[in-house]
Chains A and B, each alone.
Chain A
Amino acid sequence: MAEGDWDYYRRMRRTPLFDAHRAAGARMVEFAGWEMPLHYGSQIEEHHAVRRSAGVFDISHMLAADIEGGEARAFLRRALANDVARLPPGKALYSCLLAEDGGVLDDLIVYFAGPDRYRAVLNAATAQADLEWLGRRAPAGARIRPRTDLAMLAVQGPRAREQFWAALPEFRSASEDLASFCSMERNESFLARTGYTGEDGFELMLPAGAAPEAWRRLCAAGVRPCGLGARDTLRLEAGMNLYGQDMDASVTPFESGLGWTVALEGGRDFVGRAALERRAAAFQRLGLVLQERAGVLRAHQAVRTARGEGTITSGSFAPTLNASIALARLPAACAPGERVEVAVRDKRLAARLVQPPFVRRGKILV
């Protein structure tokens, strides 16, 4: 987009940290209608900072939505493919939101925040459609409240918690014993030990007006600001899907590596269940590691396997592996360990199939 394209700027939404990003020299890009930092100079160094130390991401473009009331639990058990009844108080659950035909409308995290109170975090690109979808189905006893008043930060990496406490000591005593995938509230803030990088760390939701000071203190404590570029290569190495790229309404959770998030036990009736039970998985999701340094795997490249054709859904250079990796939609008969060929421009390059994740907690697993 050219400078001075005013329609472009008028359309764009900005987070409370926009000025902080600009002051830090961020390269800004459009993402789902938001003007977000792509990197602050080096996306590869930001990636390494998260694997080796700690980084902080502005994820305020994602939308928190509270689902409250006496019927909130029953409503979410009907609306989500995973079962919130599994949750003890404070715990988080990863789930797909499905269409009646079993296609994935969004993936989200839902926290059991308190009695009759849940908090879901929705993808920026799908938030509006999700709210409409939920709003149409919610009974009177389940109110949906979009929390556009909150900003969201993710602090990730092996030193993330320690540096987070150094920057924001007021959270320390209450969050020292916070287990993985658990959350706590402190005044107007909500802290969870979750993330999208494959590393330990926190996600913090706080009033928008308090976000710049929290960001400043984290950076001053040595946490490196990281943009969406590093966030994408980190989540790819961690084997985590990106909605709209690795899955969408045309595929089911079973076709996108998310079968483990579908809770079928107990006969619970949830939207999409009947279709999932009818519909055989047409393909599966697997990972690829490029075997030669002769290009970079990218979305939409064709994969030729001994069992038929497939397609890459996400691919990039993986800084931790110093090789190119990808997530792909492949014939159901393919298995990890097999060799495949990927069409990269005018060449066919050799790749090896693996079961993601590629990296977890700083360690290469493939």
Chain B
Amino acid sequence: MKAPESLRYTETHEWVRAEPDGTFAVGITDFAQDTLGELVYVETPDPGRKLAAGESCAVVESVKAAADVYAPVAGEVVARNAALADAPGEVNKDPYGAWLYKLRPAAGASLDALLDAPAYRKAFGIA
């Protein structure tokens, strides 16, 4: 299973990518999609919604289970990946391409507190 070096990770299996415009793209990791199985429903947050760090803000459901997706840092939702509503399986096919939402980080919010790739892999025994 993959966990690219260029991304940051949470202990709840979100990945975070710093975009050139200063926003953060958020998705679920390869480990998360593999554990859940084939996704059949993805719910993403409304743009404009203010999120606290750790707040539940999206839902992914597979044939067998539902899982909450949490905000990795505080911020405001600026975009959602609306295409996933009709094609939730994209998250299985390309977990690091299929971002769920983007947020503009609140003042002082940074990626430094999140796990880097080696730490994430080590925490969950991912080879």
Residues of A within 8 A of B (CB): 3, 27, 38-39, 42-44, 229, 233, 293-296, 298, 316-317, 324, 345
Assess whether B43 is in contact with A296, with CB atoms less than 8 Å apart.
no
| Chain B residue contacts of A43, Cβ below 8 A | 37-38, 63
Q: Are A44 and B66 in contact (CB under 8 A)?
A: no
**Chain B residues packing against A (C-beta within 8 Å):** 37-38, 40-41, 43, 59, 61, 63-64, 66, 85, 125
The smallest C-beta distance from B80 to any residue of chain A, in angstroms, reads 15
The answer to whether A233 touches B63, judged by C-beta atoms less than 8 angstroms apart, is: yes
Find out whether the CB atom of A295 lies under 8 angstroms from the CB atom of B43: yes
Does the CB pair B43–A229 fall under 8 Å? no
Q: CA A357 – CA B66 in complex, angstroms?
A: 25
Known: A316-B63, A345-B66. A229 touches B37 (CB 8 A): yes
B63 touches A44 (CB 8 A): yes
A233 to B40, CA, bound (A): 13
Give the Cβ gap from A295 to chain B, nearest Cβ, in Å.
6
Q: Check if A44 sits within 8 Å of B38, measured CB to CB.
A: yes
- Give 12 new A-B contacts, CB below 8 A, not counting A293-B85, A324-B41: A38-B37, A42-B38, A43-B63, A44-B40, A229-B64, A293-B41, A295-B43, A296-B41, A317-B40, A317-B41, A317-B61, A345-B66
Return B98 CB to nearest CB of chain A, in Å: 17
Q: Which 4 A-B pairs have the closest CB atoms?
A: A317-B40, A296-B61, A44-B38, A296-B41
CB within 8 A of A298: which of B37, B66, B85, B125?
B66
Residue of B nearest to A47 (CB): B63
Residues in chain A near residue B38, CB distance under 8 A: 42-44
Residue of B nearest to A316 (CB): B63
Bound Cα distance A27, B62 (Å): 15
Chain B residues with Cβ below 8 Å from A42 are 38
In the bound complex, residues from chain B placing their C-beta under 8 Å from that of A38 are: 37
Task: List 30 A-B residue pairs with CB atoms under 8 Å apart, sorted by A's residue number.
Answer: A38-B37, A42-B38, A43-B37, A43-B38, A43-B63, A44-B38, A44-B63, A229-B37, A229-B63, A293-B41, A294-B41, A294-B43, A295-B43, A295-B59, A295-B61, A295-B66, A296-B40, A296-B41, A296-B61, A296-B66, A298-B66, A316-B63, A317-B40, A317-B41, A317-B61, A317-B63, A324-B40, A324-B41, A345-B59, A345-B66
Bound-state CA distance A52–B37 (Å) is 22
Bound: A317/B65 CA distance, A = 10
Complex: A27 Cα to B125 Cα, angstroms: 18
A316 cross-chain contacts in B, Cβ below 8 A: 63-64
Interfacial chain B residues near A324, Cβ < 8 Å:
40-41
Determine the residue in chain A with the shortest Cβ distance to B59. A345
Complex Cα spacing A296 to B63, Å: 8
Smallest distance from the beta carbon of A346 to chain B beta carbons, Å?
10
With the chains together, A275 CA to B63 CA distance in Å? 38
Bound CA span A3–B59, Å: 28
Docked complex Cα distance between A14 and B37 (Å): 23
Name the distance in Å between A125's Cβ and chain B's nearest Cβ: 18
Give the chain A neighbours of B63 by CB distance below 8 A: 43-44, 229, 233, 316-317
Which A residues touch B37, using CB under 8 A? 27, 38-39, 43, 229
* Chain A minimum-CB-distance residue to B65: A298
Closest chain A CB from B59 CB (angstroms): 7
Q: Which residues of B contact A294 (CB under 8 A)?
A: 41, 43
